[in-house]
Amino acid sequence: MFIAPMHPAAAERVVLPPLLVRRVDETLYQQYAHIDGIQHYATPEPPPGLVLPDLSGWHPESGRELNVAELAACLEKAEDCWRRLSLKSSILRCAARSEIRESSAEKVTAAPGNVAAAVYGLGNYAKTQLMPNLDARVQICEIHEIDPTQIGNPADYKARIISSSEFLPDSGCKVFFAAGYHHTHAEIAARAIESGGIAVVEKPVVTTPAQLEQLLELDRQFPGRLFSCYHMRHNPLFAEARRDLGVSPGEPVHISSDVYEVALPPYHWYRWPASRSHLVSNGCHWLDHFLFMNDYAKPVKFSASAAANGDSISQVELANGACLFLHLTHLGSPRIGVQDRVVMRAGNNTVSVTNGAIYQFEDEVCLRRSFTGNRMDAYRQMYRNISAAIVAGQPGDSPEALRHTNELILALDAMLS
């Protein structure tokens, strides 16, 4: 018998760690072995200890520790309860069982002239933003995804589908996209670089200081082999802002960012301890953007604090004198999803970009320009730029970008914790 705390309804099979599984008496199992389908039971309220709130939504990757003794006692009580079940008469018949496979096909080889790539994490973001927008010369040959409900029909992909998250150095791939759980990004990136490949990493790149130190050391040995996926770097509106602000390289751009992120469901994986605070999972975008607009000058002074309502307020000063004020909240209307207003100032010039799309530039005389773009262009442009750079043999993040962005994110996260 087993407990599956986080799985799709009526799944044909689930994969669980050993601590959630208990061997039961053979005679007890045989009482139910003849049932070809799903049969519910009618029983009074469960006995005390049979329901463990800590198990709700638990996942082995979450970083949340379980009480092993309490869990073993729960499984023992569940077996005792099983002996006294009163089954309902109706049975939900199951479809014919499918073959158990760990991968969908043999190794897929890239076409001549193409660069073979692997994707780790086939969530909605990878399906809608990453894969459709790559340069055609970067060919996805391998996809790793541990959740079969995310995969759907393997025949929909011209790539080998693998249900393991383990890195395969002999895959023949040269580019590795890390798009899974946040705390797994750094390990995939490190393994990719160590194997001689190129890592393309969704935000955040790291979630712990140890991960950052490993990547910095690898970057010293193999410079330019990591590309960070911060879409605000690629939003054409911010290129317009640089021109309108009239700043020369090294001159400060002062920024204030007010950000609303949709409140997350209780068991969403962004809430896992392993995912860290919302400054790591969400706020990293605006922290990197501030550094990007200031050519990754070194942070010299910073602070972060949590308000009573759950908001966070961060302040940063850079070596070039630039200042950031970042307010991040989950309170407010979720009508159109994420919303933000980024105001950039230099001298007598001010540029504001709202929701990544509404642009306004004014100086000491008047409103000079106002127009609207497409907020999704940044994602499309990001993957086109990165994949084209890889094909052309161009380097990824500079050492300053890799170090200063990630050191700042982790330092502010530690202050919130």
| pLDDT score at 44 | 59
Q: What is the mean pLDDT of residues 317-345?
A: 98
Q: Of 169 and 237, which is predicted with more confidence? A: 237
CA distance linking residue 142 with residue 58, whole number of Å = 28
Q: Is the pLDDT of residue 43 over 80?
A: no
- CATH number of this structure's domain 115-229: 3.40.50.720
pLDDT tens-place string over residues 337-392: 999 999 999 999 999 999 999 999 999 999 999 999 999 999 999 999 999 999 99
Q: What is the mean pLDDT of residues 407-413?
A: 99
pLDDT tens-place string over residues 132-144: 999 999 999 999 9
CA distance linking residue 189 with residue 175, whole number of Å = 10
Q: Is the pLDDT of residue 250 over 70?
A: yes
Handedness of CA 267, 271, 275, 278 (dihedral sign): positive
Q: What average pLDDT does the structure give for the chain?
A: 93
Which residues belong to CATH 3.40.50.720 in the chain? 115-229
| pLDDT score at 331 | 98
Q: Which residue has the tokens 């005792």?
A: 80
Q: How confident is the model at residue 10 (pLDDT cuts 50, 70, 90)?
A: low
| pLDDT score at 168 | 84
CA distance linking residue 235 with residue 230, whole number of Å = 10
Q: Of 23 and 85, which is predicted with more confidence? A: 23
Least-confidence region, from 32-46, 295-309, 329-343, 400-414? 32-46
CA distance linking residue 207 with residue 200, whole number of Å = 16
Which residues belong to CATH 3.30.360.10 in the chain? 232-374+398-416
The CATH homologous superfamily for domain 232-374+398-416 is Dihydrodipicolinate Reductase; domain 2 (3.30.360.10)
The pTM of the whole model exceeds 0.85: yes
Q: Is the pLDDT of residue 42 over 90?
A: no
Q: Of 84 and 22, which is predicted with more confidence? A: 22
Half-sphere exposure of 411 (CA within 13 A, CB side): 15
pLDDT tens-place string over residues 290-309: 999 999 999 999 999 999 99
195, 169 in Cβ contact below 8 A?
A: yes
pLDDT tens-place string over residues 203-224: 999 999 999 999 999 999 999 9
